Homo-oligomer: A and B are copies of this chain.
C-alpha cells in the first residue's frame, strides 16, 4: 500500500481537507498517512483529528502515524508516494507581523504579503532553506514521490524545488478552480457548464484568456461591459459599501482580462493601486490594507473554539474541491484528471522566461503531472506577469546564492515596493 506524508500537519483545518478527502477516496483508503510537524501540540491535535476521521469515515482502514521534528523527518518521508506540503515558517508571530510592520515604518503598505513584495520575498527566504532540507531527505528516502506544494509564495517555492532539487514538484492553489464561476456570478452572468475557459499565467496572476458558454458564445464582451459598469458605479461614484473585486475589474477594463487571485491580493502585485501619491485609490478600489494579519488574528482567536470541534472523536468530513486527493487518486489509478498546476515554464508559455514557474493546465495520470503547452500570452499580460517574475527569479537567486544584494534587487524590481 502507498503512503502520504503531510508536512506541516499542524495546519489542522487544511490537513482535514486534504487528508479527509483522501480517506474518502477509494484508491487511497488503505494508504499510510504520516503526519509531520515541529509543534508537538498541533501535531497531536491533527493526529487525533485524522484518527477520528479514519474511524468515522474509513473503518480505520488507513494507518495513521505521526513524526515530530527534524530528527524524525526522514522516517516521516520514507517510501512516501506523495508528500503534501503545507508548512508555514515563522507563523503569524513573529514573521507575519514583521513582514507587515517593518515595511510600514518606511511607508510601505501591504494587503496580504504572501506572494510578492517585501512579505513575499521574506517569506520565501525563510522557507527555502526548510524546503531544501525536505528535498535532500526526499531524494534519499522517497526519490519517486510527488511533492504537492501548497505553501506560499507558490511560484517562488515551487520554482525553487523544480529548478534546484530532484524532487518532482507541482504547486497547487485554489484560485484557478473558482475563477470563472466567481467572475460570472459576481457580474450576474449565468454560469452554465460545460463552459470553455482558458487560463494561463503565473500563480495568483493567471489570466482568464478565453471564456465561452456552452454554445460557444464568447462571454468576454458582456463581461467587459458589466465590469466597466460596476467600476463606473462603485469606484468612481463612491457607493458604500464597496464592491470587493474592483482591482480585477480594473484589470478587465485596462488589460482586457480577468485573473485568478482576488482583488485584495492583486492590489499589491503592481504599482497601480496602493500609491502614496494617490491615497484616494485605497478607498476608490476598496483595498483592505493589512488584511492578512487581520485574518490571522481572527483565525488564531477562532482556533480556540474550533479546536473542540476538530479534535473530536465524532468528527466527520465532507469531500472538498482541493486538488490533492484527486491528483493522488489519478496518479494511483491512472485516471485522467485536469488541474491548474504550477510548473517550470520551459517554453510552455512562449513569452515568459523558461525558468519561471507558471500556472497552466496539466494532465494528471499514472505518469504524474504533465503540463500542456500554451503558446504566447497577449503582450500586456505577459508584461504584467514579467514584473512579478522579475521579483521571483531574484528572490530565488538570493536564496540559492546567499548573496544579499539579490534581496535588495528583488525589492527594487518589485513593482509595488519600488512604486
Contact = CB atoms under 8 A, between A and B. Distances in A.
Contact of A384 (B216, B337, B350, B413): B413
Interface stretch (A51-59, A62-70, A120-128, A386-394): A386-394
Nearest to A378: B397
Given A336-B337, A373-B347, A418 B197 contact: no
B387 A413 contact: yes
A254 B409 contact: yes
Interface in A369-419: 370-373, 379-380, 382-384, 386-387, 390, 393-394, 397, 405-406, 408-409, 412-413, 415, 418-419
Given A193-B334, A272-B412, A383-B413, 11 more contacts: A194-B334, A198-B367, A271-B271, A276-B277, A336-B336, A347-B347, A362-B372, A379-B397, A379-B409, A383-B409, A415-B418
A390 B394 contact: no
Contact of A394 (B196, B197, B351, B383): B383
Contacts of A370: 361, 372-373
A346 B373 contact: yes
Contacts of A347: 347, 373
A268 interface: no
Interface string A260-283: 000000000011100011000000
Nearest to A356: B351
Nearest to A355: B351
B366 A363 contact: no
Interface in A103-152: 107, 144
A386 B380 contact: no
A195 B366 CA distance: 7
A288 interface: no
Contacts of A379: 393-394, 397, 406, 409
Contact of A383 (B276, B334, B348, B393): B393
Contact of A390 (B256, B353, B383, B405): B383
Interface of A: 107, 144, 193-198, 210, 212, 216, 254-256, 270-272, 276-277, 332-338, 346-348, 350-351, 353-355, 361-363, 365-367, 370-373, 379-380, 382-384, 386-387, 390, 393-394, 397, 405-406, 408-409, 412-413, 415, 418-419
A386 B391 CA distance: 12
* 5 closest cross-chain pairs (CB), A and B: A194-B334, A383-B390, A196-B366, A370-B372, A380-B409
Contacts of A354: 350-351
Contacts of A408: 254
A405 B198 contact: no
B196 A334 contact: yes
A107 B278 CA distance: 12
Nearest to A368: B196
A207 to B, nearest CB: 13
28 contacts: A107-B277, A194-B332, A194-B333, A196-B366, A254-B405, A254-B408, A254-B412, A272-B418, A276-B277, A351-B353, A353-B382, A361-B367, A361-B370, A363-B363, A363-B372, A370-B373, A372-B373, A379-B394, A379-B406, A380-B394, A380-B406, A380-B409, A380-B413, A383-B390, A383-B393, A386-B386, A387-B387, A419-B419
